[in-house]
Structure 1
Amino acid sequence: MRLPALALFATAVLALPATAEPVHGIAMHGTPKYQAGFTHFDYVNPDAPKGGEVRLGVSGTFDSLNPFILAGKKAVGAGLTFDTLGRPSADEPFSYYGLIAQTIDIAPDRTSVTFALRPEARFHDGSPITAEDVEFTFQILREKGLPFFRSYYGDVVKVDIEGPHKVTFRFKDGNNGELPLILMQMPILSKAYYSKNAFDKTSLEPPLGSGPYKIASVDAGKSIVLSRVPDYWGKDLPVSRGHANFGTLRYEYFRDDTIALEAFFAGQIDWRRETSALSWAQRYDKPPVADGRIKKEAFETEQTAGMQGFGMNLRRPQFQDRDVRRAIILALDFEWSNKTLFFGLYKRTRSFFDNSDLGATGLPSPAELKLLEPWRGKIPDEVFTTEYKPPVTDGSGNIRPQLREALALLKKAGWEPKNGKLTNAQGQEFVFEILLENPAYERIALPFTKNLELLGIKANVRVVDPAQYEERMKRFDFDMTVELFAQSDSPGNEQRDFFGSAAADEPGGRNTLGIKSPAIDALIEQVITAKSREDLQTATKALDRVLQWGYYTVPHWNLGKVWVAHWDMFGRTDKRIKAGVDINTWWIDPKKAAAIGRKAN
């Protein structure tokens, strides 16, 4: 899976075959699209003009420029200053091409990968990027970095420095075909710099990077400015051409998204990704939109939608019963919300791998049953007999049939209504908190709580500031919150961190739901060790079925599009990418910029 916080395989019968000789790029399954000698990715303009400033809006605040550790609230954009071993293409499922790494050499038994580094690769202070920096980065990320790294790199057992610009990673076995690509996502840090500067401390001092941008200025909690490095060492590489076209990236922070939207209309922000159906449908009736100075565009995506929903913390006693979780799911009236709140724009999410060929539909195939059978009696029986579908209402707002079913499930779990309040045998009332960071979710959560109230459940909605929210989530200090499990088209090691038992007890980890299931652990390993795209589909669908029937989240909805609004000052190609849009490949069009009074340089 691509590593979202940091970055945004080669012949073919088995997943990630061993290479007969060092290669320029690798694909998870099959051969990479771009062959040796390619000059640029198809979806970029290799001759895009450089320069100009782009202002982007961010809700919340920040107190750290270190994106790799658990402590602190990270500044958006800080990761853009670090180069990685490789770069993915945006028009393939999962392929990586050398950036810092000039070549990739996978051992015949797939138990190691060797990267030959480009001798010209440099940090911003002019010092070379060496194999020692790569080895240092791996060790410090795994020892002191985000908990995610420990599970992500868990199958690497040793790193050998073969020379000043050559490094080999050795694996516990040859079954994890994703590991070479995962390692190519690694942002490389300077060993010399961190020998003098603490890695595991929050800091507002710009760190030493190597990427196309470096941090030019910081106003703590308010803004961060990145400037393009004119002599960036990798600017002429095939993987870099057509990227990082803006001279300056300015991230302006706002207290909440409503204020950020007003700043956009006032011309203080240039480009915005919209995530609110209400805003998209009703709040763009402004003069700059009407006269064409602001453009609204919807980009179709070809990516897995993943799962967004109200996630229940299984560490809380009231959510440990599966019947209780099912009852709570029945209280959300998606059809009414879609019609009344979302203008009919969304579709209900039903899978943890929605909108892809990886999600489970229908009944299990024989190949899936082979993976599921060892767990019969230890996973829900419905996994074997019934296709999972979220509950459906008539959209009228009257969900009495669903509530009757929910109440029966709650009674089965030992909860009884008394004087309008749901209580258990110990006399404890069913009360929980829905913790929110984004106030926009209040309009969704409040109707949900009204339905829960009809069951005798008291759900309190609480909105906190981003810093407090992040701190509470690190400690798993919540009952229910909005969770998003973003998935790639090639899931793998990250599933351990999302749903693996070991990650459930790791503060700051991404198994925020607290799932601990030997069956899920085993199925995750089947996903990771899949030897072909067909095997991956089978294993992922089997995993999806167990997650679906576990009732761990109250499923929300997805769009299948990306909404973008921007001042009409940009150029871009018309080539589609799987994510729908990537501003990193856009540029400022001088004529368009002049027409709205903006400078291109």
Structure 2
Amino acid sequence: MNRRAMEVSMRARVLALAMLAGAALAAAEIPAGIVWETNLGEPLIGDPAALKGGTFNYFIPTYPLTFRLLGPESNDIFCAWNRAYSMSFTLVGRHPVTDAYIPWMATHWAVAPDRKTVYFKLDPDARFSDGTPITAADYVFCHEMMRSKEILDPYYNNYAESYFASVEAIDPLTLKIVGAMESWRPIDDFAVLWPVPRHVEKLAPGWVKEANNRPQVVPGPYVVAEAVPGEKVVLTRIKDWWGRDKRYFRGLYNADRIVLKVVPIANVFDYFKKREIDFMTVISAKMWVTEMGFDAVAKGWVHRKQEYLETPEGISGLHMNLAAPLFASKDVRKAMQHLFPFELLNSRLMYGSYARKVSAFEGTEYANRGLTPYEFSPAKAQEHMAKAGFTARGPDGILVDARGRRASFTLTYGNKLMEPHLTIIQQIYAKGGVEITLNLLEPATAFNRGKERNYEMILASRSTGFHPSPYQYFHSDFAKETGNNNLWGFGREDTDTLVDVYRFDMDKAARIAALRALDAIIRDEAFYIPFWKGPYMRFLYWDDVCFPATYFPRRTQQMLDWQVFWIDPARTARLKEAMAAGTSLGEDTRIEVDPWNVLPGLAR
């Protein structure tokens, strides 16, 4: 037995002894009358017939800035993959079809009558990727880490302070979490901790630098096995992963290897057509309508699907920095709204595929359905610019104020595929007397510019959870500092009150009223120009990539959310043979799929 195996074995023995020693303590500290809950009655998420094995080739637009989960630059382009096998392994999950709570890292949970104390029974089979058993102490350490100043992460410092009063290990497999406040959603608020290996992470001055390029030791099924700067990151599946046969993990996480190649977004389609990547989502409506006739589709080597889904929508659009001198004026911001040519963009570039967003909380019951988008009206834009002091045009046609200040700003973006849209916006705004300088940056750089508020206007989007998260976006706690998701630097006393009603009030009607009022204020303040929405995901995949009959679960926002796909080696051999011979497998003409019966609801 090697030294690593001996260490793991010894820890397992210590764990077993500690469990016996802690049994009496656990009984004493868990109040009588606590009702334990679990849920093994929901449908499987993956397909139990899914095959394990193979390599799934995908892309990331830039190489990771860090492999840390916390601290500076940890919210970069790679973070979704980094978190998928670590932070996403929370205590309790939410089923992506039924929305019910389901066991994840905990097998059982119990909410105390005070609705701020929650108990969890941890899965005794759970192990870190290095084989070390996962215990309640690893969740205690997660809380310690979130609170630590050594991580240089104000967001998580604030989060830990705002949401948790204490995190305690009753025994190695029983955890007690006390929230900082009574909650109307205690599982969502307090079951979000993930296990952090204390035996790996050593919090001390310099931790950020020390941990920067060190891959995570995780509870999930994949670990970083190879990282080539500027080229790729390779993830490998743990063969004897502890969760493989758990009910809600069955049929998920099937590929043996996931190769994430660094590919600029503008080049992804070319890489896909050359079969250098196996799957891609199609964001561009023009591409979907005009560029799907390539030979691999006609011969059935490639499939294309438009799957209708029901998901909350995160913010997506153009954002104005309230610290930028030009955008300090609400009238200027409203002028920008009235110049936004959605109808022109939708007809000319998007083939009428989309509807206009208006709410900051789209797809949830908290969206203010009484709101309407700002109409496209150059005349109203001129009125607002005049109120802001921009009454004359210079020799180049750009509006100027009495001080000679030009109505000019830079629009930062990180997706080259958006250039046709932004060029039309630039032209329309110029006709309205407003000059836009387009500034294309690397995706990771553009992302960080947004977080640091180092921009004037920026194109940015964020995903969202089951419930809206207005605190991190619109509360003044995050307007005071940069490095967070309050992109605009917005926050004031009355809106903070509305956010806090949503966070803390036990009356659902009050929470809905508060967020709808906040929604109306956000629209009126005009610092966010919402883009567009479509109730579907469009994607392409090669023939040896397989899916369940229902494709992605109902609540999927991106492919990474629920890894239900697998690689079929027989289909791989068939595909290679067909490609070598140039023969057809038969075109797949079933493009639109609606496994969750979304379309009838849209018609209503």
Question: Normalising TM by the smaller chain, what interval?
Answer: 0.7 to 0.9
From 180, 185, 197, the equivalent of 1:178 is: 185
**What does residue 101 of structure 2 align with?**
96
Closer, same or farther: CA 485–545 of 1 in aligned 2, 3 Å = farther
SS in 2 for 1:182: helix
Which ranges of structure 1 fall in alignment gaps of 5 or more residues? 1-17, 26-34, 363-387, 394-401
CA positional deviation for 1:74: 5.6
Letter in 2 for 1:226: L
Aligned 1:80-91 pairs, distance under 5 A: 80-82=84-86, 83-91=89-97
From 78, 84, 103, the equivalent of 2:82 is: 78
Q: Provide the rounded CA distance (Å) in 1 between the counterparts of 2:367 and 2:282.
A: 26
In the alignment, is residue 549 of structure 1 matched against residue 524 of structure 2?
yes
Q: Provide the rounded CA distance (Å) in 1 between the counterparts of 2:138 and 2:270.
A: 44
Is the contact made by 2:309 and 2:536 (CA closer than 8 Å) also made in structure 1? yes
SS in 2 for 1:134: helix
**What does residue 214 of structure 1 align with?**
223
In the alignment, is residue 436 of structure 1 matched against residue 413 of structure 2?
yes
Closer, same or farther: CA 145–532 of 1 in aligned 2, 3 Å = farther
Letter in 2 for 1:105: A
**What does residue 51 of structure 2 align with?**
49
Deviations 1:208-227 (A, max 9, x none): 22211112211123211111
CA positional deviation for 1:230: 1.2
In the alignment, is residue 274 of structure 1 matched against residue 277 of structure 2?
no
Is the contact made by 2:111 and 2:186 (CA closer than 8 Å) also made in structure 1? no
Is the contact made by 1:67 and 1:75 (CA closer than 8 Å) also made in structure 2? no
Deviations 1:316-374 (A, max 9, x none): 12112222111111111111111111111111111112244332123xxxxxxxxxxxx
Is the contact made by 2:303 and 2:540 (CA closer than 8 Å) also made in structure 1? yes
**What does residue 524 of structure 1 align with?**
499
From 440, 452, 472, the equivalent of 1:463 is: 440
In the alignment, is residue 68 of structure 1 matched against residue 70 of structure 2?
yes
From 472, 487, 491, the equivalent of 2:464 is: 487
From 374, 380, 387, the equivalent of 1:391 is: 374
Range moving further from structure 2, 235-244 or 177-186? 177-186
**What does residue 447 of structure 1 align with?**
424
In the alignment, is residue 234 of structure 1 matched against residue 238 of structure 2?
no
SS in 2 for 1:211: coil
Aligned residues: 533
Closer, same or farther: CA 140–475 of 1 in aligned 2, 3 Å = same
Q: Provide the rounded CA distance (Å) in 1 between the counterparts of 2:294 and 2:35.
A: 55
Letter in 1 for 2:565: W
Closer, same or farther: CA 534–92 of 1 in aligned 2, 3 Å = farther
**What does residue 599 of structure 2 align with?**
none
More helix by share: 2
Is the contact made by 2:71 and 2:153 (CA closer than 8 Å) also made in structure 1? yes
SS in 2 for 1:406: helix
Is the contact made by 1:96 and 1:184 (CA closer than 8 Å) also made in structure 2? no
Letter in 2 for 1:286: F
Letter in 2 for 1:203: N
SS in 1 for 2:563: helix
Q: Provide the rounded CA distance (Å) in 1 between the counterparts of 2:235 and 2:43.
A: 24
SS in 1 for 2:60: strand
Q: Provide the rounded CA distance (Å) in 2 between the counterparts of 1:244 and 1:235.
A: 8
Closer, same or farther: CA 56–312 of 1 in aligned 2, 3 Å = same
Q: Provide the rounded CA distance (Å) in 1 between the counterparts of 2:486 and 2:165.
A: 24
Q: Provide the rounded CA distance (Å) in 2 between the counterparts of 1:518 and 1:204.
A: 41
Is the contact made by 1:157 and 1:172 (CA closer than 8 Å) also made in structure 2? yes
What TM-score comes out, normalization by structure 2 length? 0.82
**What does residue 140 of structure 2 align with?**
135
Is the contact made by 1:43 and 1:573 (CA closer than 8 Å) also made in structure 2? no
From 548, 568, 572, the equivalent of 1:589 is: 568
**What does residue 15 of structure 2 align with?**
none
Deviations 1:129-188 (A, max 9, x none): 1222111112212432644434444221222232222222222331x2334323333332
Closer, same or farther: CA 42–583 of 1 in aligned 2, 3 Å = closer
Closer, same or farther: CA 564–192 of 1 in aligned 2, 3 Å = same
Closer, same or farther: CA 58–316 of 1 in aligned 2, 3 Å = same
Closer, same or farther: CA 488–132 of 1 in aligned 2, 3 Å = closer
CA positional deviation for 1:499: 0.8
From 118, 140, 145, the equivalent of 2:123 is: 118
Letter in 1 for 2:53: G
Is the contact made by 2:360 and 2:519 (CA closer than 8 Å) also made in structure 1? yes
From 323, 339, 343, the equivalent of 1:315 is: 323
From 388, 398, 411, the equivalent of 1:421 is: 398
Q: Structure 1: which 4+ aligned runs deviate by more than 6 Å?
A: none
From 139, 149, 154, the equivalent of 2:156 is: 149
Aligned 1:270-309 pairs, distance under 5 A: 270-309=278-317
Letter in 2 for 1:568: D
Is the contact made by 1:224 and 1:252 (CA closer than 8 Å) also made in structure 2? yes
In the alignment, is residue 203 of structure 1 matched against residue 212 of structure 2?
yes
Q: Provide the rounded CA distance (Å) in 1 between the counterparts of 2:32 and 2:296.
A: 54
**What does residue 398 of structure 1 align with?**
none
Q: Provide the rounded CA distance (Å) in 2 between the counterparts of 1:533 and 1:19.
A: 29
Closer, same or farther: CA 275–349 of 1 in aligned 2, 3 Å = same
Is the contact made by 1:223 and 1:251 (CA closer than 8 Å) also made in structure 2? yes
Q: Provide the rounded CA distance (Å) in 2 between the counterparts of 1:131 and 1:141.
A: 16
SS in 1 for 2:437: strand
Deviations 1:510-559 (A, max 9, x none): 00111122222111122223536555433332222222222121221111
What TM-score comes out, normalization by structure 1 length? 0.83
CA positional deviation for 1:193: 0.5
Letter in 2 for 1:334: F
Letter in 1 for 2:530: P
Letter in 1 for 2:571: K
Q: Provide the rounded CA distance (Å) in 1 between the counterparts of 2:507 and 2:543.
A: 44
Closer, same or farther: CA 24–390 of 1 in aligned 2, 3 Å = same
**What does residue 386 of structure 2 align with?**
411
Q: Provide the rounded CA distance (Å) in 2 between the counterparts of 1:527 and 1:594.
A: 54
Range moving further from structure 2, 270-279 or 566-575? 566-575
Letter in 2 for 1:228: R
SS in 2 for 1:597: helix
